[in-house]
Structure 1
Amino acid sequence: MTIKLYQVDAFTNEVFRGNPAAVCPLEKWLPDEILQKIAAENNLSETAFIVQHNNKFEIRWFTPTIEVDLCGHATLAGAYVLFNYENYTQDKIEFYSPRSGQLTVTKNGTLLALNFPTDEFSEVELTGLLKATTDKTAIFAYKGKTDYMLLFNSEEDIITMKPDLSAIAQLAARGLIVTAKGNKNDFVSRFFAPAAGVNEDPVTGSAHTTLIPYWAGKLGKTTLTASQLSERHGTLYCRMLGNRVEIAGSAVLYLKGEINI
Structure 2
Amino acid sequence: MITDNTQKLKVPFFAGNAFTTGPYGGNPAVVVFLQDELPDEILLGIANNFNQSVITFVYPPTPEDTEVNGQTASFRIRWFSTLREIWLCGHGSFVAAASIFDTPGLVSAGVQSLRLKGKHNTLTARRVDDGQIELTLGAKDVERVTPAQEKEIGDIVKRSIGDIQILSVWTDKKFVLVEVEEKGEGDLASRKVDTDTLIETGYPSNIITAGSSDPDVAFISRVFHPAQGLAEDPVCGSAHGLLTPYWSKKQGFGDKQVSVKQVSPRGGGLDVKWNIQEGTVTLRVGLSFTAVLDWHAGRIRWLRYPNCPPYQHFW
Does the alignment reach a TM-score above 0.5? Answer: yes
Instruction: Provide the C-alpha distance between the structure 1 equivalents of 2:241 and 2:295, rounded to a whole number of angstroms.
Output: 32
Q: How do residues 4-23 of structure 1 correspond to structure 2 at under 5 angstroms? A: 4-23=12-31
| Deviation for aligned residue 1:256 | 2.6
Give ranges in structure 1 of 5+ residues lacking alignment. Answer: none
**Which residue is 1:82 aligned to?**
100
Q: Tell me, what secondary structure is at the counterpart of 1:45? A: coil
Instruction: Provide the C-alpha distance between the structure 2 equivalents of 1:86 and 1:31, rounded to a whole number of angstroms.
Output: 29
Q: Tell me, what secondary structure is at the counterpart of 1:3? A: coil
**Which residue is 1:106 aligned to?**
126
Q: Which amino acid aligns with 2:136?
A: N
Per the alignment, do residues 203 and 29 of structure 1 end up closer, same or farther by CA in structure 2, a change over 3 Å counting?
same
1:9, 1:20 within 8 Å by CA — same for their partners in 2?
A: yes
> Could you state the TM-score of these two structures normalised by the residue count of structure 2?
0.78
Q: Tell me, what secondary structure is at the counterpart of 1:247? A: strand
1:119, 1:145 within 8 Å by CA — same for their partners in 2?
A: no
**Which residue is 1:94 aligned to?**
115
2:141, 2:245 within 8 Å by CA — same for their partners in 1?
A: no
Q: 1:2 aligns with which of 3, 6, 10?
A: 10
Instruction: Provide the C-alpha distance between the structure 2 equivalents of 1:86 and 1:204, rounded to a whole number of angstroms.
Output: 29
1:129, 1:167 within 8 Å by CA — same for their partners in 2?
A: no
| Deviation for aligned residue 1:254 | 4.8
Residue 32 of structure 2 corresponds to residue 24 of structure 1:
yes
Q: Tell me, what secondary structure is at the counterpart of 2:31? A: strand
| Deviation for aligned residue 1:195 | 1.0
Q: Which amino acid aligns with 1:34?
A: I
Q: Deviations over 1:186-212 (max 9, x none)?
A: 000011111111111111000001100
Q: 2:286 aligns with which of 250, 254, 257?
A: 250
Residue 65 of structure 2 corresponds to residue 70 of structure 1:
no
**Which residue is 1:230 aligned to?**
264
Q: 1:137 aligns with which of 165, 169, 174?
A: 165
Per the alignment, do residues 259 and 197 of structure 1 end up closer, same or farther by CA in structure 2, a change over 3 Å counting?
farther
Asked which structure has the greater CA Rg, the reply is 2
Q: 2:241 aligns with which of 193, 209, 216?
A: 209
| Deviation for aligned residue 1:66 | 1.6
Instruction: Provide the C-alpha distance between the structure 2 equivalents of 1:50 and 1:60, rounded to a whole number of angstroms.
Output: 7
**Which residue is 1:47 aligned to?**
55
**Which residue is 2:222 aligned to?**
190
Instruction: Provide the C-alpha distance between the structure 1 equivalents of 2:173 and 2:96, rounded to a whole number of angstroms.
Output: 24
Per the alignment, do residues 113 and 145 of structure 1 end up closer, same or farther by CA in structure 2, a change over 3 Å counting?
farther
| Deviation for aligned residue 1:233 | 1.1
Structure 1 runs (4+) greater than 4 angstroms displaced: none
Q: How many residues align?
A: 259
Instruction: Provide the C-alpha distance between the structure 2 equivalents of 1:148 and 1:195, rounded to a whole number of angstroms.
Output: 13
Per the alignment, do residues 19 and 85 of structure 1 end up closer, same or farther by CA in structure 2, a change over 3 Å counting?
same
Instruction: Provide the C-alpha distance between the structure 1 equivalents of 2:287 and 2:135, rounded to a whole number of angstroms.
Output: 12
**Which residue is 1:153 aligned to?**
181
Higher relative contact order (Cα pairs below 8 Å, separated by 6+ residues): 1
Q: Tell me, what secondary structure is at the counterpart of 2:249? A: helix
> Could you state the TM-score of these two structures normalised by the residue count of structure 1?
0.93
| Deviation for aligned residue 1:246 | 0.3
2:156, 2:201 within 8 Å by CA — same for their partners in 1?
A: no
Q: Deviations over 1:118-152 (max 9, x none)?
A: 12311113132442233123211111231111101
Instruction: Provide the C-alpha distance between the structure 2 equivalents of 1:145 and 1:118, rounded to a whole number of angstroms.
Output: 14
Give ranges in structure 2 of 5+ residues lacking alignment. Answer: 1-8, 68-73, 297-315
| Deviation for aligned residue 1:258 | 6.0
Instruction: Provide the C-alpha distance between the structure 1 equivalents of 2:78 and 2:295, rounded to a whole number of angstroms.
Output: 18
2:195, 2:232 within 8 Å by CA — same for their partners in 1?
A: no
Q: Deviations over 1:211-232 (max 9, x none)?
A: 0010111111122211001111
Higher strand residue share? 1
Instruction: Provide the C-alpha distance between the structure 2 equivalents of 1:179 and 1:194, rounded to a whole number of angstroms.
Output: 17
Instruction: Provide the C-alpha distance between the structure 2 equivalents of 1:28 and 1:171, rounded to a whole number of angstroms.
Output: 39
Q: 2:202 aligns with which of 167, 172, 178?
A: 172
Q: Which amino acid aligns with 1:182?
A: S
